Structure 1
Amino acid sequence: MNRDLTKGSVLKSMLLFSIPMILGDLLQQCYNIVDTLIVGQFLGKNALASVGSSFTLMTFITSIILGLCMGSGALFSIRYGQKDEKGLREDVCASFFFIALITFILTVISYIFLNQLSVFLHVPHEVWGDMKGYLIIIFIGIPAIFLYNYFASYLRAIGNSMIPLIFLAISAILNIILDLFFVIVLKLGVEGAAIATVISQYLSGIGISIYSLIKNIQVRAIMKLQYFHLKRVHKVISFSVLTCIQQSVMNLGILMVQGLVNSFGTVVMAAFAAAVKIDAFAYMPVQDFGNAFSTFIAQNYGAKEKMRIQSGLKSAVCLSMGFCIIISTIVCIFAKDLMTIFIDAKETEIIMEGVKYLKIEGAFYCGIGCLFLLYGLYRALGKPGMSVVLTIFSLGTRVVLAYVLSAIPAIGVTGIWWSVPIGWALADLIGLIYYRCKKKELLSFNI
């Protein structure tokens, strides 16, 4: 199932590799979306607001682990393209223990500062009880998130995007079944939704770990200390930490916006909770395509295939922009119908606020599509620091504008929604200018 992306048709290689990744990440989104849907329909708007705010927080926590895994995955892809078997094993061993340590620290910190979150996120008193109960359980799943994303990143780095999809499909189906059972049958409330998610996460995390150890000799290096070298840890850090910073800065900005949203009350919180799920689900395919594109570029960068890199870049831009135009049209036309999936039709105030959000964000998905390609490109070319720069510009603009515009009475919460596409556009402009100016240096194959 491993795919060598340095050979064959460029367009076909990217498509065949990216489709399982897209389907897999859409299934991963189902973990929290199913929670949101069931909670919103059966437990009411306060419970929906609590799960929605929890989703934003967990996205931030997950982004730290995901960033480390993605950065390591880019390094794995380069080693795979170079046919450097020994280097790949040593990088796998070093990255596994490094990210496992970070995961442990992250889990401990999450519990220590749990009670402070209500203040940081401006969570209303009537929502905090459900949110705290949900988070106490959901934090148990953080190690499972590490296991799945680490081994999925490795498998995708060597061209195997199908196995991560299979494990996610199984766990997503289990999550839906357990959600319905714990929330509706056993009436365990938001805690039941959290239990269902954690069980499903461990199924996919442990399952893909066992598969990877059995099927991939290189992965077994994590059980052999002779493959652990500090110089490799340094290399892993140089790739993964900057990607981690990029991912966490991006989601920290979103978390800060969540706190601002919460200050507008339960109605806006509930609208944002539902709309942001639709938003994330809509552009998730282009985000995953950006990650697949990054693996394609990294393998060819390791193999020093300059022409395939340039050809892949052109094909990726055309595919990504075409998809964004289609999905933007769908979201803008069916915004109200999409909101009623999560919200009872009688909650007209919540639905209308959510529709306003979706029509503003949805019209500019080409902006985020271009940004995901730029993130993937710079990560694959060994320049993850540039991804951090783009994220700072994108999220910095978003956060500043959100607070400034929303403080103007005539604009209010709508200012938060408009700050997002403006941030995307600024980051895109900077990323494209940098590529045009540094193209020769970027393709010098100095790794």
Structure 2
Amino acid sequence: MKKQHDFTQGNILKQLILFSGPIMLTNLLQTSYQFADSLWVGNLLGGNALGAVAVSSTIIFTVLSFVIGLNNAALTILSQQKGRDNEEGLKNYLNAFVVILTVLSVTLGALGFIFAEQFLQLLGTPENMMTSAKAYLQINFLGMLFLFGYNFISTVLRSLGNSKTPLRFVMIAVALNIVLDPLFIAGFNLGVEGAAYATVISQGIAFLYGIIFVLYRKLAPFSIPTLPTKQEVGLILNLGIPSGLQMAVIAAGVAAIMSVVTGFGDDVVAGFSAAQRLDSLVMLPALALGTAVSSMAGQNIGVSEWARVKKIAKYGVLYNFSIMLIIGIIVVFFAEHGVRLFIQEEEAVQFGTQYLQIIALCYPFLGINFILNGVVRAAGAMYQILVLNIISFWILRYPLTALFAHLFGDTGIAIGMGSSFLVSSLVAFLYYRYGKWRKKELFRT
């Protein structure tokens, strides 16, 4: 196997900067992928079609959240095996993930296709959107294997210290989607179904290219799949299930906060939605650093290099704080221009601008959560991270947002959210400093 990046030696800060950069770009491209999809559907087919895609995407994201959970487990297990320089263990666990994800993707794809309408009814999808939403959802479920595989290959490479190659796969998927969307939607007159076909084909080609590229370059020790051992399956599910549940906790927490926002009327909802779109872009560096730190720490935890793990956490926090502080200051000055990209109604723009200006300088503290939780996750302490997320969203963010909104009106939404970032970063630090996550041992020595 071609030598990948070894994070158990060398300059940590330099490695962090070089390794996290391509992950940031990959995340940005993933966001532009969804943005381009919405742009084509909205402009070519109108608001009704865009609504149908948005409702279906909620279901797809819910399924994907479990995939992200399993991918976090893969990042932890494979990076530790890489750090231990255990070629056989790496190969065996890679095989186990391939088998589990293949079975899971085929099963979920079949169930999703059969019960697509029932899922949409559970979300209260309007009748005039049902036909389009069902078609869009069913086509995406047929391509579930591509969605799983496309994400998994990137995770495997990152666990081995390679963040540049996954960027190549995402660029292919994004470029294809931008070309195929208008072709299938308008050129072949397939409407919403055309958008779904464009997505599945783009991801399918990127997935197949990824497999061929990785095998040809020998970037990871993939082999012909065989049945994994009970121990391998047990460890993967023991880490993957709580990691998947973390995403469910986050999704439910976001929905709960939205229930506070909707109480203030249409203008506040519109302003908050526009601000959230900008939020998702602003948080990309912190998310990328969290992934980078997790992979780097995982390799060092695998060989008990705790001094390096501590340095990775320290540099990660300082690098994140610097980047997010600069971004926060920029947002304070250009918040209104950003909000006006999405909405024009004056009252909505005013709320969105005020929200961003209050919360912008709290971004660095939310980033601290991603860094420290990424290090803890690298040790395999998934249940502990699940508890930290429950505290972050359900004991801090939602109650504080509701409380300050009650005390200060719509201005309190940003005050509550921002203060929760501050307190949850303190909770994350206290667990990182005093928690027993370092005693977690995934493999017998």
TM-score by length of 1: 0.85
Task: Please name the residue that 1:16 is paired with.
Answer: 18
User: Does the 8 A contact of 1:123 with 1:262 survive in 2?
Assistant: no
Matched, 1:27 2:29: yes
User: Does the 8 A contact of 1:148 with 1:204 survive in 2?
Assistant: yes
Within the candidate set 192, 195, 198, 1:193 is matched to: 195
Task: Please name the residue that 2:341 is paired with.
Answer: 341
Query: Using the alignment, how far apart are the partners of 1:125 and 1:338 within structure 2?
Result: 34
Q: CA deviation at 1:314?
A: 1.1
The amino acid across from 2:288 in the alignment is D
Within the candidate set 369, 379, 382, 2:380 is matched to: 382
Query: Using the alignment, how far apart are the partners of 1:36 and 1:272 within structure 2?
Result: 19
Q: CA deviation at 1:273?
A: 5.2
Distance 1:402 1:97, change over 3 A: farther
Q: CA deviation at 1:152?
A: 1.1
Task: Please name the residue that 1:248 is paired with.
Answer: 248
Task: Please name the residue that 1:160 is paired with.
Answer: 162
Distance 1:293 1:432, change over 3 A: same
Task: Please name the residue that 1:72 is paired with.
Answer: 74
Query: Using the alignment, how far apart are the partners of 1:52 and 1:8 within structure 2?
Result: 45
Q: CA deviation at 1:241?
A: 2.4
Q: CA deviation at 1:264?
A: 8.2
Query: Using the alignment, how far apart are the partners of 2:258 and 2:52 within structure 1?
Result: 12
Query: Using the alignment, how far apart are the partners of 2:412 and 2:262 within structure 1?
Result: 14
Instruction: Pick which of 332-341 and 240-249 moved more.
Output: 332-341
Query: Using the alignment, how far apart are the partners of 1:47 and 1:351 within structure 2?
Result: 25
Query: Using the alignment, how far apart are the partners of 2:256 and 2:114 within structure 1?
Result: 20
Query: Using the alignment, how far apart are the partners of 1:158 and 1:209 within structure 2?
Result: 16
Task: Please name the residue that 1:101 is paired with.
Answer: 103
Task: Please name the residue that 1:392 is paired with.
Answer: 390
Deviations 1:305-360 (A, max 9, x none): 222111111111110011111222233332332234345x4x55655554455445
Query: Using the alignment, how far apart are the partners of 1:32 and 1:209 within structure 2?
Result: 23
Query: Using the alignment, how far apart are the partners of 1:375 and 1:206 within structure 2?
Result: 33
Aligned-CA RMSD value: 3.4
Task: Please name the residue that 1:364 is paired with.
Answer: 362
Query: Using the alignment, how far apart are the partners of 1:421 and 1:135 within structure 2?
Result: 35
Instruction: Pick which of 45-54 and 386-395 moved more.
Output: 45-54
Distance 1:80 1:171, change over 3 A: same
Query: Using the alignment, how far apart are the partners of 1:352 and 1:263 within structure 2?
Result: 17
Task: Please name the residue that 2:307 is paired with.
Answer: 307
Matched, 1:38 2:40: yes
Matches within 5 A, 1:89-128: 89-118=91-120, 120-121=122-123
Deviations 1:360-407 (A, max 9, x none): 554421232111112211111221221111111122247743995699
Query: Using the alignment, how far apart are the partners of 1:357 and 1:51 within structure 2?
Result: 27
Q: CA deviation at 1:174?
A: 1.5
Distance 1:81 1:208, change over 3 A: same
Task: Please name the residue that 2:6 is paired with.
Answer: 4
Within the candidate set 439, 442, 446, 2:438 is matched to: 442
Query: Using the alignment, how far apart are the partners of 2:192 and 2:259 within structure 1?
Result: 21
Instruction: Pick which of 46-55 and 172-181 moved more.
Output: 46-55
User: Does the 8 A contact of 2:298 with 2:379 survive in 1?
Assistant: yes
Distance 1:9 1:407, change over 3 A: closer
What's the secondary structure of 2:161's corresponding residue?
coil
Q: CA deviation at 1:192?
A: 3.5
User: Does the 8 A contact of 1:21 with 1:288 survive in 2?
Assistant: yes
Query: Using the alignment, how far apart are the partners of 2:19 and 2:420 within structure 1?
Result: 30
User: Does the 8 A contact of 2:339 with 2:349 survive in 1?
Assistant: yes
User: Does the 8 A contact of 1:121 with 1:259 survive in 2?
Assistant: no
Query: Using the alignment, how far apart are the partners of 1:269 and 1:127 within structure 2?
Result: 22
Matched, 1:142 2:144: yes
Q: CA deviation at 1:12?
A: 0.8
User: Does the 8 A contact of 2:401 with 2:414 survive in 1?
Assistant: no
Q: CA deviation at 1:279?
A: 1.7
What's the secondary structure of 1:220's corresponding residue?
coil
User: Does the 8 A contact of 1:6 with 1:300 survive in 2?
Assistant: yes
Instruction: Pick which of 21-30 and 402-411 moved more.
Output: 402-411
The share of aligned pairs that are identical, in percent, is 32
Instruction: Pick which of 63-72 and 363-372 moved more.
Output: 363-372
Query: Using the alignment, how far apart are the partners of 1:265 and 1:141 within structure 2?
Result: 38
Matched, 1:429 2:426: yes
The amino acid across from 1:392 in the alignment is I
Query: Using the alignment, how far apart are the partners of 1:186 and 1:265 within structure 2?
Result: 40
Q: Aligned pair count?
A: 441
TM-score by length of 2: 0.85
Distance 1:306 1:159, change over 3 A: same
Query: Using the alignment, how far apart are the partners of 1:372 and 1:191 within structure 2?
Result: 36
Task: Please name the residue that 1:295 is paired with.
Answer: 295
The amino acid across from 2:376 in the alignment is Y
